[in-house]
A and B are shown apart, each in its own frame.
Chain A
Amino acid sequence: MANLKDIRTRIVSVKSTQQVTSAMKMVSAAKLRKAQDAIIQMRPYADKLSEVLSSVSSNLSSDIENKYAKRGTINKVLIVAITSNRGLCGGFNSNVIKRTVELVSVTHKDLATKNKVDVVAIGKKAVDGLKSKGIKVSNSYLELYDKLNFASVSEIAQAIMDSYANGEYDHIELVYNQFKNAAVQNLVNEQFLPVGDIAQTENKPKKSGYKPSYFFEPSMQEIVVKIIPQSLKIQFFKAILDSVASEHGARMTAMHKATDNAFELIRELKLNYNKARQASITNEILEIVSGANAMKG
């Protein structure tokens, strides 16, 4: 049986680990709420934008000039992997990395062998994880989470959209964790560009019956051309916010489990400690008694 002092040190160290994990859980819970608020705050904007887009584009019969529209052949693919900067959040990051590797080596295998698949990493964990899997990361954004706002996100989105518009890539995909609730994240890979058929993909306005006939200024075409990039940026922003909320949710769950495990571990260690203590007391009594007997004899 392990000696008493060893067990005592183990208990102390497990206890302090437990304190750290439970504190991390609290911090994540607070950050999760903030991240969820950000998603809720963005919703009215996104809803209105897609409502206007669908109402404008449904009035528009002819095809509009759109530099984000679909092109014939796919020659080069870009994958954007969105992870966090920090670990200790369960399978959150490794799932994204796994899916990215799968996309590169299975889905786009033919292009990958010709070096026609690029990966952009958002978050430090994606950079490290993909490097260790032997995938070259062509560009990375690590400081995004230090100051997360729409302006900084839309800058990145613009850079990615430009690379599509100027023909560098023909297909762009996002890989990220979609936020469902605090305990559940859905890993998704979503087509970012080219944009789908606008009139079809956007949900139709719910209000039926009275529909005001709008007056458009300057013209429908110009409005659509202006809204499309904006709605792409919103889509990208939403992906980032979802990922952030998922990260905190995942970390909260992971830390909760760690705290529970520490409890269990302490319970076991205490039991062992008491057993060892009892054994040593029994030993001492045995020695005293046998010593006394020897004196008597």
Chain B
Amino acid sequence: MLYLEIISPEKLLFAGEITIIKLPGVSGSFEIMKNHVPIISTLKQGKIKVKETSGIVSYFDVEGGLVEVSNNEVKVLVE
């Protein structure tokens, strides 16, 4: 299972188990699933799409940010 946290400077926007996340990377949009290689990447303006394990799909608009993936843990810092 993949654990996701989306954090802004003001609050925690999302925390929970997900199956897949789609991120607007600086050099192109990409998706992260279970057992992704550890990665640090910056994000540009766009939409984050999250599919939770329960099947609910939610979207977050971001101005930019940073993502870190390691050990099936995704942390997204958004602006």
Contact = CB atoms under 8 A, between A and B. Distances in A.
Interface size range of chain A in the complex: 20 to 34
Contacts of A56: 40
A226 B9 CA distance: 16
| Secondary structure class of chain A's binding surface, majority of residues | helix
Interface string B65-77: 0101011000101
Interface in B51-69: 64, 66, 68
A142 interface: no
Contacts of B9: 42, 45-46, 150, 234, 237
Nearest to B27: A218
A154 B64 CA distance: 14
A42 B10 contact: yes
A42 B9 CA distance: 5
B8 A45 contact: yes
Interface of A: 38, 41-42, 44-46, 48-49, 52, 56, 149-150, 154, 212-218, 222-223, 226-227, 230, 234, 237
Given A48-B77, A52-B68, 8 more contacts: A38-B10, A149-B10, A212-B71, A214-B39, A214-B70, A216-B40, A218-B26, A223-B41
Interface of B: 5, 7-12, 25-27, 37-42, 64, 66, 68, 70-71, 75, 77, 79
